[in-house]
Amino acid sequence: MMRHALPGIGNNWLVLLKTTALVSIIGLQDMVKIAGDASGSTQQPFTFYLTVAFVFLFFTAISSALLKRLEVKYSLQTR
């Protein structure tokens, strides 16, 4: 059953990670605000905004890798 449920669960997790209150756990809004303040004082916005983007991408990549490993684990049991 996990083999069939895991893609939907993973999709919902990534949607929640990107759009809802889980983002506040990561502090994405806070990180963007700090990057905006830092870029305003140094006149280098891409440096700070790219750093925030890579941190958020890191969390998404870790989640995707974990979900992929779970899919492989549960698909091997059906062979």
- Which position has the higher pLDDT, 49 or 20? 49
DSSP symbols for 7-65? HHHHHHHHHHHHHSTHHHHHTHHHHHHHHHHHHHHHS-HHHHHHHHHHHHHHHHHHHHH
Q: What pTM does this model have?
A: 0.64
Predicted confidence (pLDDT) per residue in 29-53, tens digit: 677 778 888 888 888 888 888 887 8
pLDDT at site 40? 84
Q: Give per-residue burial for 3-37: e unless 16+ CB within 10 Å, then b.
A: eeebeeebeeeeeebeeeeebeeeebeebeeebee
Is residue 66 predicted with pLDDT exceeding 90?
A: yes
Region 17-23: what's the mean pLDDT?
62
